[in-house]
């Protein structure tokens, strides 16, 4: 039995998101002990907060999901790219984390609807393929997990 490329990409996405990636700590595992107050803080002047990093990841995951589902997606505005987020509260932070988790479910479902043969197709209205899109969202998660790790360390 051969493993499909799609299933390997989904597995890689899952490891990066909430598994055991080879390079360190997965995105969700970095967030498990972050309070709403810590998420909203700016421990390094001139940088985004952890909360903004998570909202940014959600935005781009939603873009990827829409593209994988065959939608054309307009360019993301600066406000969408780096949302300010709600007033900090435990409930709002929990809602943000739940939304992040839901994007993983939706991303895996959308990717799972593709075949290996479709990976080389261009994403709707974009100059890149579904293959590049899927690997790009994984790389994006890993990059922002690193940003979150640095912000946590700076706040400690």
Residue 54 has pLDDT above 90, yes or no: yes
Query: Considering Cα of 24, then 99, then 43, then 33, what sign does the dihedral take?
Result: negative
When divided into structural domains, the chain yields a total of: 1
With contact defined as beta carbons under 8 Å apart, do 134 and 9 qualify?
A: yes
Residue 2 has pLDDT above 70, yes or no: no
With contact defined as beta carbons under 8 Å apart, do 145 and 26 qualify?
A: yes
Tokens standing for residue 6: 């799609």
Mean confidence (pLDDT) of the chain: 96
Domain range for 32 is 5-155
Using CA atoms in the order 79, 84, 86, 92, what is the torsion angle rounded to 10 degrees?
A: 100
Q: Enter the pTM of the model.
A: 0.95
Give Cα separations from 74 to 116, 124, 136 (angstroms): 26, 11, 18
Q: Can you give the CATH number for the domain in which 107 is found? A: 1.20.120.450
User: What pLDDT was estimated at residue 84?
Assistant: 87
């Amino acid at each position: 039995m051969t493993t499909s490329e799609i299933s390997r990409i989904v597995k890689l996405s899952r490891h990066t998101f909430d598994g055991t990636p080879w390079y360190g700590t997965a995105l969700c595992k970095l967030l498990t002990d972050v309070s709403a107050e810590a998420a909203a803080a700016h421990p390094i002047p001139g940088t985004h907060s952890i909360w903004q990093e998570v909202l940014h990841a959600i935005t781009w995951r939603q873009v990827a999901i829409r593209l994988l589902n065959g939608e054309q997606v307009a360019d993301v505005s600066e406000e969408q790219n780096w949302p300010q987020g709600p007033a900090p509260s435990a409930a709002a932070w929990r809602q943000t984390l739940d939304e992040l988790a839901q994007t993983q479910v939706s991303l895996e479902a959308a990717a799972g609807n593709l075949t290996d043969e479709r990976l080389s197709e261009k994403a709707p209205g974009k100059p890149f393929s579904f293959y590049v899109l899927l690997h790009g969202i994984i790389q994006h998660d890993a990059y922002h997990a690193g940003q979150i790790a640095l912000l946590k360390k700076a706040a400690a």
